[in-house]
Amino acid sequence: MKNYRSAARNSLRLAKAELSNGDDQRLKYAALELRMTIESLAYDRAASYKDEFPPSEYETWQPKKVMQVLLDVDPHAASDSTLRIGLEPSPGVAPEVMHDVGHETALSMAVIKKYYDALGSYLHVPTLKQARGVKPQDPAKLRMKCGEIAGALELVLASSVYNITLGSFATIECFNCEKPLRRRFPFGKESVRAECMECHAGYTLIGLGNNQVEWKPHQRKLKCGGDNCLTEALIWEHEIRAGEYWICTGCGGRNQFGLCVGYSPAPMNDPDTKASFD
């Protein structure tokens, strides 16, 4: 996998070089490199959580979207943190002395929202609509903005420790495909949702206290549609879509999901009656 943190350092170095050039025509390249720094830092953070959310989300290469997914998985994914260690006098007893290992300044959602789109506005020619009545870009303001962004990103990259992902986890074998399924259970949460990355079976995890969690599968109990057949089946919610089907264990019949439209005639002289389409 690409070393995104190294890529971020390189992009920031190039951005600072462009800013120190003094040529206003080079400012757009500084903005581009700063934008790439933000992207690389977001993807670097995502890489440390890659086993906790589906690849379809992980491969959505948009920093804001990636961070939103991370915050759903771990509410502290974009928060600063300090790592400390200490020797317990006995198991479960808090250490009397704690030693700092390092501090991480995380790439926050606030930084992404404030700077990422703003930088993008400097990298495109204004549309005809945007160009009407819009003042030309002020190079001095852009230089100041880029310097501010570079400073914020430099703090992130200066962290002595980074990508700390400590937490409490619940693990089972998926009820559907039997593949290992692991989900972070953040402190203070009463419940969280989980999805198997292999078969997409969904679950809700409910905290029971004393480090115990109940996994509730997202299933529906459905009755066979055959005449005089009373057999019921548990169907995963993600499989309830047009074209999918199940074979009844009672009568052997095939039950297939489909789309349908229910029709009721409109009352005469009803002012709310909608116009029909040809």
Q: Are 202 and 211 in contact (CB under 8 A)?
A: no
Between helix 27-47 and helix 63-73 the angle, nearest 10°, is: 30
Domain ranges for the chain:
4-86+97-157, 169-217, 220-256
pLDDT at 278 over 50: no
Please tell me the pTM assigned to this model: 0.75
Between helix 4-21 and helix 139-157 the angle, nearest 10°, is: 150
CATH 1.20.120 fits 4-86+97-157, yes or no: yes
- Positive or negative, the CA dihedral 240, 244, 248, 253 is positive
Q: Are 27 and 142 in contact (CB under 8 A)?
A: yes
Q: What's the whole-number average pLDDT of the chain?
A: 87
pLDDT value at residue 269: 64
At residue 265 the predicted structure's pLDDT band, cuts being 50, 70 and 90, is confident
pLDDT at 224 over 90: yes
Name the CATH architecture for the domain at 169-217. Answer: Single Sheet (2.20)
Overall average pLDDT of the 26-45 stretch: 94
CA separation for the pair 87, 115 (Å, rounded): 42
Q: Could you give the percent of the chain with pLDDT greater than 70? A: 90
More confident residue, 158 or 73: 158
At residue 204 the predicted structure's pLDDT band, cuts being 50, 70 and 90, is very high
CA separation for the pair 93, 95 (Å, rounded): 6
pLDDT value at residue 92: 83
Q: Which is nearest to 142 in space by CA: 122, 126, 123?
A: 122
pLDDT value at residue 134: 62
CA separation for the pair 183, 49 (Å, rounded): 11
Q: Which helix (H) or strand (E) holds 117?
A: helix 117-120
Lowest mean pLDDT among 93-107, 119-133, 214-228: 119-133
CA separation for the pair 194, 73 (Å, rounded): 9
CB 78: neighbour CB atoms within 10 A? 19
Copy the structure tokens of residue 45. 């953070």
More confident residue, 277 or 258: 258
pLDDT value at residue 133: 63
- The dihedrals phi and psi of 36, each to the nearest 5 degrees, come to -70, -30
pLDDT value at residue 9: 97
pLDDT value at residue 82: 92
Residue-wise pLDDT for 39-74, tens only, equals 999 999 988 888 787 777 667 668 888 888 888 888
